[in-house]
């Protein structure tokens, strides 16, 4: 972007700051200004036109520096663009492409894309057919997600939502997908923690981290998800499958509410502006599974929304639920009970994930879900203090094992789907056969490591799963060579 | 009062710059406050609190149009209409390379009066770096007729010729 003088000579229109607020400047002049046009102030600050009438232009400023009354402003005939390119990979940037941390090697990409691209039409979209591997067994087996799905991550604060995103990103970088993490109005400490997680797991050079802090200008924070989506679209068009995590949209809505109230727009429900639904819908509609020149490529979007005391019926919460293809509910009660991740499978929904599953996976999915439903009912029954029958005790003991299997410490472990299938089937078979071999416990990290590092072992497992048609067949196979496979995974 | 809007003509056309308008505006404010400080205060007495030129111009309007100097309602109406008219001025901002004399300002203002009409005032800023000519800013439009720009453009276009 050129400087103030350049645009003044080019456009020959000028305005003067008439009223200065913390984020919104009222500028008079600029007779031919357009909505969303970029405005540059003589002091170097950049802003975007929010709205205007014949006398006054409202400009949302992307800077914290105060702008004095009477400061000159010029319109640019340009719309907000985000620098895009491979240079962004491995970098932490703000939505305008400026580095957030000291990065010697960073050079802003020369090409850029408009931040407000309209969502692609129905003709360029395709049914979701491939499963997205998150590395989290309860999601991959019970609540499967598809590549190109928009799945809402919802729950109270501190219930492990960000940890889940981190694990999903970790699993996806292993699949060579392009991962973008958008931290919206986060605390500096949280941004640092996410950065440390990526560094610790050696994926910091493989992901793009778009962030704005809680104390950054509200205009900048408002742009974060749009900038991240624009970067995602660029990489999709370059032939990558993209995973985009938006952490979180409740904060985004709050910042947008602040902007709207400062701009004196009429407040609606909970003081949010009337176009909050439109704002989020036009963002999330840009994700999906697309057919482009380079084939079928997808932007999988995982927006996060925070609830208060488990209330799923809030305004922003229900809005975003209606825009997404399901939601994973992180239950604070389950979190308090020590379940990790604290996903409540009964209150979670995946609308397109199951269509991506093979028959075997679907069988296992049904088996787990129906068993968990039964055990949950029995668990509730025990609260009455009634004496339990032997069969109930057995069911509860099995439920304990299944839950333990689905539990996963929020450490940097991601379990490949095929390994989850194998271990679960083994566990299930052992339970049926009343054996005492349990593919769970402290050895799990080692098992995953062996699976990832020994191609001959993983190949054999993958082949076995590929050749199996149903869960019953798979259980038979496990009975025959399950122990041998488990041994090979423990070496 | 509305029918006599032309009575303000001489006073309005005598205002040429933003500074003059601001000064007269603050004088009108002080005139209003001093007039209503006490019951007995009349316009003649109150006019002593403002500049002689302004006082003379206002007095002239009252005498010429036979307005009642003791009727406070008439005076208040007069001051209010005058202030409203002054708020309707359109500002033409000029950036010049030198501090203009009164004669220069008069000349520029007369040119505007003859070519565009009544109701325009000048906001003059001095910036020696423009070397000569002027920048004209009006209604959000910006036109650079400065010597600096001409030289800049010439250096850009004929750089090689100049440096050869």
Of the ranges A397-401, A439-443, A468-472, B81-85, which one carries the lowest mean pLDDT score? A439-443
pLDDT in tens, A115-163: 999 999 999 999 999 999 999 999 999 999 999 999 999 999 999 999 9
Q: Which residues in chain A have their CB less than 8 angstroms from residue B142's CB? A: 8, 11-14, 74
ipTM for the whole predicted complex goes beyond 0.85: no
pLDDT of residue B64 exceeding 90, the answer is: no
- CB B142 to CB A30 under 8 A? no
Of B141, B144, B149, the CB nearest to A13: B141
A490, with CB counted inside 10 A (0-12, 13-18, 19+), is exposed
Q: Are residues A256 and A304 in the same domain?
A: yes
pLDDT of residue B3 exceeding 70, the answer is: no
For residues A194 and B64, the model is more confident at A194
Q: For residues B49-74, give the mean pLDDT.
A: 84
For residues B37 and B20, the model is more confident at B20
Length of chain A in terms of residues written = 491
Is A351 noted as a catalytic residue in this protein? Answer: yes
pLDDT in tens, A464-477: 899 898 999 998 88
- CB B140 to CB A12 under 8 A? no
Q: Count of A–B CB contacts within 8 Å?
A: 26
Residue ranges per structural domain of chain B: 2-87, 90-163
Q: For residues B134-144, give the mean pLDDT.
A: 94
Of the ranges A49-63, A437-451, B103-117, B126-140, which one carries the lowest mean pLDDT score? A437-451
Percent of chain A's residues with pLDDT above 70: 96
pLDDT, position B2:
46
For A16, nearest residue in chain B (alpha carbons)? B140
Q: For residues A434-451, give the mean pLDDT.
A: 73
Which residues contact residue A162 at a Cβ distance below 8 angstroms, ignoring those fewer than 6 apart? Answer: A190, A194, A247, A304
pLDDT of residue A354 exceeding 90, the answer is: yes
pLDDT of residue A227 exceeding 90, the answer is: yes
Confidence band for B71, pLDDT divided at 50, 70 and 90? confident
Looking at every residue in chain A, the average pLDDT score rounds to 91
Q: Are residues A346 and A373 in the same domain?
A: no
Q: Are residues A315 and A401 in the same domain?
A: no
- Count of structural domains, chain A: 3
Q: Are the C-beta atoms of A413 and A445 separated by less than 8 Å? A: yes
For A73, nearest residue in chain B (alpha carbons)? B140
Q: For position A322, which CATH number holds?
A: 3.40.50.300
Which residues contact residue B119 at a Cβ distance below 8 angstroms, ignoring those fewer than 6 apart? Answer: B12, B88, B89, B90
Three-state helix/strand/coil letters over chain B:
CHHHHHHHHHHHHHCCEHHHHHHHHHHHHHHHHHHCCCCCCCHHHHHHHCCHHHHHHHHHHHHHCCCCCCCHHHHHHHHHHHHHHHHCCEEEEEEECCCCCHHHHHHHHHHHHHHCCCCEEEEEEECHHHCCEEEEEECCEEEEEEHHHHHHHHHHHCHHHHHC
Q: Which residues in chain B have their CB less than 8 angstroms from residue A14's CB? A: 137, 140-142
pLDDT, position B47:
84
Rounded to a whole number, what is the distance in Å from the CA of A55 to chain B's nearest CA?
10
pLDDT, position A403:
87
pTM over 0.90: no
Q: Are residues A251 and A284 in the same domain?
A: yes
Q: Are residues A89 and A56 in the same domain?
A: no
Q: For position A451, which CATH number holds?
A: 1.10.1140
Q: Are residues A368 and A396 in the same domain?
A: yes
Confidence band for A56, pLDDT divided at 50, 70 and 90? very high
Which residues contact residue A472 at a Cβ distance below 8 angstroms, ignoring those fewer than 6 apart? Answer: A363
Q: For residues A64-87, give the mean pLDDT.
A: 94
pLDDT, position B76:
85
Q: Which of A125, A351, A362, A479 is catalytic?
A: A351
Domain boundary among A56, A78, A100: A78
Q: Are residues A193 and A335 in the same domain?
A: yes
Q: Are residues A325 and A370 in the same domain?
A: no
pLDDT, position A441:
66
Count each helix (H run) and each strand (E run) in chain A, helices first: 15, 19
Considering only residues 97 to 156 of chain B, which have any Cβ-Cβ distance to chain A shorter than 8 Å?
137, 139-144, 149
Q: For position A67, which CATH number holds?
A: 2.40.30.20
The contacts found for B30-39 with CB under 8 angstroms, 24 or more apart, are: B31/B58, B31/B79, B32/B76, B32/B79, B35/B72, B35/B75, B35/B76, B36/B72
Confidence band for A411, pLDDT divided at 50, 70 and 90? low
Backbone torsions φ then ψ of A327, nearest 5 degrees: -150, 150
Q: Are residues A198 and A258 in the same domain?
A: yes
| Probe site for chain B from A4, A10, A11, A12 (most B CB atoms < 10 A) | A12
Domain holding A334, by residue range, is 83-356
pLDDT of residue A437 exceeding 80, the answer is: no
pLDDT of residue A375 exceeding 50, the answer is: yes
pLDDT, position B154:
94
Q: For residues B61-65, give the mean pLDDT.
A: 85
- CB B143 to CB A13 under 8 A? no
Confidence band for A443, pLDDT divided at 50, 70 and 90? confident
pLDDT in tens, A254-270: 999 999 999 989 999 99
- CB A12 to CB B139 under 8 A? no
Q: Are residues A369 and A431 in the same domain?
A: yes
Q: Are residues A107 and A169 in the same domain?
A: yes
Q: Are residues A13 and A142 in the same domain?
A: no
Percent of chain A's residues with pLDDT above 90: 71
Of A12, A15, A31, the CB nearest to B143: A12
Beta bridge partners of A28: A16, A56
pLDDT of residue B8 exceeding 70, the answer is: yes
Q: For residues B65-88, give the mean pLDDT.
A: 85
């Amino acid at each position: 972007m050129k400087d103030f003088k350049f645009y003044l000579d080019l456009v020959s229109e000028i305005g003067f700051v008439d009223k200065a607020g913390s984020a919104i400047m009222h500028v008079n002049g600029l007779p031919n200004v357009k909505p969303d046009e970029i405005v540059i102030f003589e002091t170097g600050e950049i802003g975007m036109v929010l709205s205007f009438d014949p006398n006054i232009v409202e400009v949302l400023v992307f800077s914290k520096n105060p702008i004095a009354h009477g400061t000159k402003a010029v319109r640019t005939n340009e719309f907000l663009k985000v620098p895009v390119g491979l240079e962004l990979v491995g970098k932490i940037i703000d939505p305008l492409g400026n580095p957030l941390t000291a990065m010697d090697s960073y050079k802003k990409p020369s090409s850029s894309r408009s931040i407000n691209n309209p969502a692609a039409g129905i003709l360029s979209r395709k049914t979701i057919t491939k499963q997205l591997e998150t590395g989290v067994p309860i999601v991959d087996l019970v609540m499967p997600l598809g590549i190109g799905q928009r799945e809402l991550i919802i729950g109270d604060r501190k219930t492990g939502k960000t940890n889940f995103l981190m694990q999903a990103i970790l699993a996806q970088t292993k699949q060579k997908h392009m991962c973008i993490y958008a931290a919206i109005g986060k605390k500096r400490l949280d941004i640092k923690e996410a950065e440390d997680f990526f560094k610790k797991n050696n994926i910091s050079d493989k992901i793009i981290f778009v962030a704005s802090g809680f104390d950054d200008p509200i205009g900048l924070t408002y742009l974060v998800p749009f900038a991240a989506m624009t970067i995602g679209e660029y990489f999709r068009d370059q032939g990558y499958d993209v995973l985009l995590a938006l952490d979180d949209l409740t904060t985004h809505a709050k910042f947008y509410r602040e902007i709207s109230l400062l701009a004196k727009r009429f407040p609606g429900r909970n003081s949010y502006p009337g176009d909050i639904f439109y704002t989020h819908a036009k963002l999330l509609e840009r994700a999906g599974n697309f057919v482009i020149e380079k084939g079928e490529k997808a932007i999988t979007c995982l927006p996060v929304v925070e609830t208060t005391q488990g209330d799923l019926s809030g305004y922003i919460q229900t809005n975003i639920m209606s825009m997404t293809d399901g939601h994973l509910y992180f239950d604070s009660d389950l979190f308090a009970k020590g379940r990790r991740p604290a996903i409540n499978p009964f209150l979670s929904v995946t609308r397109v994930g199951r269509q991506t599953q093979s028959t075997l996976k679907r069988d296992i999915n049904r088996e787990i879900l129906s068993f968990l439903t039964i055990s949950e009912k029995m668990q509730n029954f025990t609260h009455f203090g009634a004496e339990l029958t032997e069969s109930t005790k057995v069911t509860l003991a099995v439920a304990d094992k299944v839950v333990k299997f689905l539990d996963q410490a929020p450490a940097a472990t991601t379990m490949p789907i095929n390994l989850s299938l194998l271990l679960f089937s083994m566990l299930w078979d052992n339970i049926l056969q009343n054996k005492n071999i349990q593919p769970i416990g402290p050895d799990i990290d080692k098992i995953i490591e062996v699976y990832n590092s020994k191609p001959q072992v993983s190949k054999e497992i993958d082949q076995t799963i590929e050749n199996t048609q149903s869960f019953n067949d798979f259980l038979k196979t496990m009975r025959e060579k399950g122990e041998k496979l488990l041994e090979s995974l423990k070496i | 009062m509305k029918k006599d809007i032309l009575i303000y003509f001489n006073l309005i056309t005598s205002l040429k710059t933003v500074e003059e308008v601001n000064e007269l505006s603050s004088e009108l404010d002080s005139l209003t406050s001093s007039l209503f400080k006490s019951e007995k205060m009349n316009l003649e007495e109150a006019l002593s609190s403002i500049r002689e030129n302004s006082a003379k111009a206002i007095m002239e309007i009252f005498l010429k149009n036979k307005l009642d100097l003791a009727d406070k309602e008439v005076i208040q109406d007069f001051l209010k209409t005058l202030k409203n008219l002054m708020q309707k001025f359109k500002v033409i901002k000029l950036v010049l390379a030198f501090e203009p004399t009164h004669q220069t300002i008069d000349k520029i203002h007369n040119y505007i009066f003859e070519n565009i009409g009544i109701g325009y005032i000048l906001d003059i800023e001095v910036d020696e770096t423009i070397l000569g000519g002027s920048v004209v800013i009006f209604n959000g439009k910006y036109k650079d007729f400065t010597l600096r720009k001409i030289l800049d453009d010439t250096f850009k276009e004929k750089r090689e010729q100049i440096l050869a």
